[in-house]
């Protein structure tokens, strides 16, 4: 039986200045799928992700998460939905002055009471959970390191560990490796894919690096001007499709390793 994690029907998002960021998108994503979204800057990919993690609401159309219509959800029900969606961002969204353990345990805040969250700032709660997550991303020795003292790659691992302790059904990775060098970026993406597989999480990644999408994801969505240009397995994507997707950018570094 096919279980849909997301169902989008004619979803659109228009901002107050008239910008059409997402235009009439219809899309299904199954539970446990690995999906990469690629396309030029300004295509609307980040807006799409903000719709998927319920930080934005559609202007038009309908969007379901696990058969729950997201735009009709509010209050406690919406908070419960958001707890099931973990997001890993390009800029990490960590608090550099805090210890690594505090940043990792921020993934638990949606499940803790306010008193427990405040207590954890003084005496970290669920230490073993944070340690296990850091061990999975390869930096358990950084548990009590100040986050500001970590490298960019280590900080991204902390952000992934934070998503793991949240224990979501879906991990949305919004350009998670754009700020690190390509070699480290591939290592981090391989780690994220492996963790999603081993924990049976749906993984949707917005990727700047085309090669990562084609090498690591069985389904690739090309996004341009707010709409889906193609939705195919990597083997079915040809040079013409890629050139059309990045029209005007064919000599950029994005495509130089592909075409």
Q: What is the pLDDT of residues 94-125, one digit of tens each?
A: 899 999 999 999 888 877 677 777 777 767 78
pLDDT at 179 over 80: no
Q: What are the tokens at 1?
A: 């039986």
pLDDT at 183: 85
Distance set, CA 55 to CA 60, 70, 85, 107, 147 (Å)? 15, 11, 11, 16, 26
Report d(CA 241, CA 222) in Å as an integer.
9
Question: How many CB atoms within 10 Å of residue 173?
Answer: 28
pLDDT at 70: 87
Question: How many CB atoms within 10 Å of residue 41?
Answer: 12
pLDDT at 109: 80
Find which of 61-70, 84-93, 240-249 is predicted with most confidence, using mean pLDDT.
61-70
Q: What is the pLDDT of residues 190-202, one digit of tens each?
A: 989 999 999 899 9
Its pTM stands at 0.87
Going 133 to 137 to 143 to 147, the CA torsion angle's sign is negative
Q: What is the mean pLDDT of the chain?
A: 88
Report d(CA 199, CA 60) in Å as an integer.
34
Q: How many helices (H) and strands (E) does the chain have?
A: 10, 10
């Amino acid at each position: 039986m096919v279980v849909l994690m997301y169902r989008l029907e004619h979803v659109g998002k228009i901002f107050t200045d008239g910008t059409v960021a997402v235009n009439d998108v219809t899309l299904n994503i199954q539970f446990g799928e690995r999906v990469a979204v690629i396309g030029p800057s300004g295509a609307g990919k980040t807006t799409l992700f903000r719709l998927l993690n319920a930080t934005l609401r559609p202007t038009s159309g309908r969007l379901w998460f696990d058969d729950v219509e997201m735009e009709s959800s509010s209050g406690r029900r919406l908070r419960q939905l958001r707890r099931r969606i973990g997001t890993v961002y390009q800029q990490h969204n960590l608090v550099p002055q805090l210890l690594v353990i505090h940043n990792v345990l921020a993934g638990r805040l949606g499940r803790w009471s306010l008193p427990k969250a405040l207590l954890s700032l003084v005496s970290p709660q669920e230490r073993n959970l944070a340690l296990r997550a850091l061990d999975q991303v390869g930096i358990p020795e950084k548990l009590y390191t100040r986050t500001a003292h970590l490298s960019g790659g280590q900080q991204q691992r902390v952000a992934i560990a934070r998503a793991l302790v949240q224990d979501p059904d879906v991990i949305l990775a919004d350009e998670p490796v754009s700020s690190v060098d390509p070699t480290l970026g591939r290592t981090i993406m391989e780690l994220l894919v492996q963790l999603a597989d081993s924990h049976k999480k749906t993984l949707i990644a917005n990727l700047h690096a085309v090669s990562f999408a084609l090498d690591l994801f069985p389904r690739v969505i090309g996004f341009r001007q707010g709409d889906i240009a193609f939705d195919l397995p990597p083997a079915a994507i040809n040079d013409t499709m890629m050139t059309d997707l990045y029209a005007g950018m064919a000599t950029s570094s994005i495509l130089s390793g592909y075409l």
